[in-house]
Chains A and B, each alone.
Chain A
Amino acid sequence: MTSSNSVAVPGSNDDAVLQWVTFKLDNETYGINVMQVQEVLRYTDIAPVPGAPHYVLGIINLRGNVVTVIDTRSRFGLASADVNDSTRIVIIEAEKQVIGILVDSVAEVVYLRRSEIDNAPNVGTEESAKFIQGVSNRDGELLILVDLDKLLSDEEWMELTQI
């Protein structure tokens, strides 16, 4: 985990507070490193790209820049859902690329102590098992922390640059 989203807490250097932007997907709450989030957009039309990989929804024009939008639900192995007023595109930076991820809604920024983050059970056999960086119990609800750098494999990140 990068420590770039940590906030220094006097007297507790080994238990830094980390900031996470939380979003919802299929009624589960996920968290991503706040330092990797550039902005959050309302849903806008996504132009499909012929021949693009299945995990790419398409591209959007963000102030003159072309940004590829990833189908997060598909990536997480979830069923697709209709777009509604809560749908957001989160613009993130991962593996030195700026991409958008489509989410059901964006909730808030939460602060978690490192000690509050637990390891996810290591029983995953699929690629998507790598996405989970850890889990945390927050107000009785499970927050699943996602490692955005692992969202795509090295080959897939490379593939994105060629779209």
Chain B
Amino acid sequence: MSKLVDDAVCDYFSSLLNETPVAQRVNTDEATGLNHGTLSAELRPQQGNSAVQVKEFATAEVEERINPQALAQLLAPVSAPVEPKPAVTAVAEKQLAAVAQKPALIAATDLNSTPESVNSEQINVVAAQSSATAKSMTKDLIEQLDEEFQVLFFKVAGLTLAVPLVSLGGIVNLERISHLMGRPSWYLGVQQHRQSQLNVVDTCAWVMPEKYDQTLAQNVSYKYIVLLQDSNWGLTCESLVNTFKIHKSQVNWRSQAGKRPWLAGVVKEQMCGILNVDALIAMLDSGLGSQG
């Protein structure tokens, strides 16, 4: 890990230690100048209307448990100066050449068809596609963004993530989630949104499945859904931090796809992951977890 990143990580930890509890943090949504109205008219917090059990969130305890490990994992591929090419990438590139000649593996189903269980071969090939295209996706994202661009920071289980506003489809309150059987544990269910179905992702379970145990699940208190572009996917979050205008140079862009193509890079000052929404949507569409 470079000295610069080391310093930044220390700063990040310091800021977390000095952070206000969640009850105060929610109040600071407005104090920090986040204009809810500009993001979505539906963003206003509504308490007591959610079918999801809302419990008091032991912020300090959860952050203490999650942040160091989670951040270290997120940063690992970024901070390594020369990341060895993962074995899976080499296999993936070979498979990709073969896949290019085949029709899409996961096609849209009609009512006469049924979703088949995704076997390991399919997962490998999809992972290969995700991995191989992630680099170009990040490049596309960088090209798509202006030199200075706005991002929204949001928090889940103490972990801060950033999404470029150009990739933000909106923000809605978490309301009634309908559970669908047979879906991965990170798939919370479906929420009605403007006459369509919104697929809601348990962000904590998706981003850090290895840390997501029963205790954490009970402590996480989701309030909002961050919509990903114009897709029908949404990430749950506990609180919205703020929107910031940042310069491209303020981001450590990932030069290699690694295991997490959904992570475009790390915002240096805030030391938080910035999402590659296109890659994220592609992974979710394929039913893949955060590790591909």
Which stretch from B66-74, B88-96, B107-115 is at the chain A interface? B107-115
Q: Which B-chain residue is minimally distant from A149 (CB atoms)? A: B114
Neighbouring A residues of B115 by C-beta, 8 Å: 120, 122-124, 129-130, 132
B284 near A123: Cβ-Cβ < 8 Å: yes
Q: What are the interface flags for A111-128 relative to B under an 8 Å C-beta threshold, 1 for contact and 0 otherwise?
A: 000100111111111111
Smallest CB separation, A134 vs chain B (Å): 5
Smallest CB separation, B210 vs chain A (Å): 18
Which stretch from B8-16, B127-135, B190-198, B263-271 is at the chain A interface? B190-198
Report the bound CA distance from A131 to B115 in whole Å.
9
A135 near B117: Cβ-Cβ < 8 Å: no
Q: Which B-chain residue is minimally distant from A29 (CB atoms)? A: B178
* Interface check B183, CB cutoff 8 A: yes
Neighbouring B residues of A11 by C-beta, 8 Å: none
Report the bound CA distance from A140 to B191 in whole Å.
9
Smallest CB separation, B131 vs chain A (Å): 19
* Interface check A150, CB cutoff 8 A: yes
* Residue of B51, B184, B196 with most partner-chain A CB within 10 A: B184
Report the bound CA distance from A142 to B197 in whole Å.
8
Question: Which residues in B have some Cβ–Cβ distance to A below 8 Å?
Answer: 51, 106, 108-112, 114-118, 178-184, 187, 190, 192, 195-197, 199, 232, 284-287
A-B contact pairs, 11 of them (CB 8 A): A77-B181, A124-B115, A124-B180, A125-B182, A125-B184, A126-B181, A127-B182, A130-B182, A134-B111, A137-B195, A144-B178
Which 6 pairs across A and B sit closest by C-beta, in order of nearness? A129-B182, A128-B182, A123-B287, A142-B178, A126-B182, A124-B182
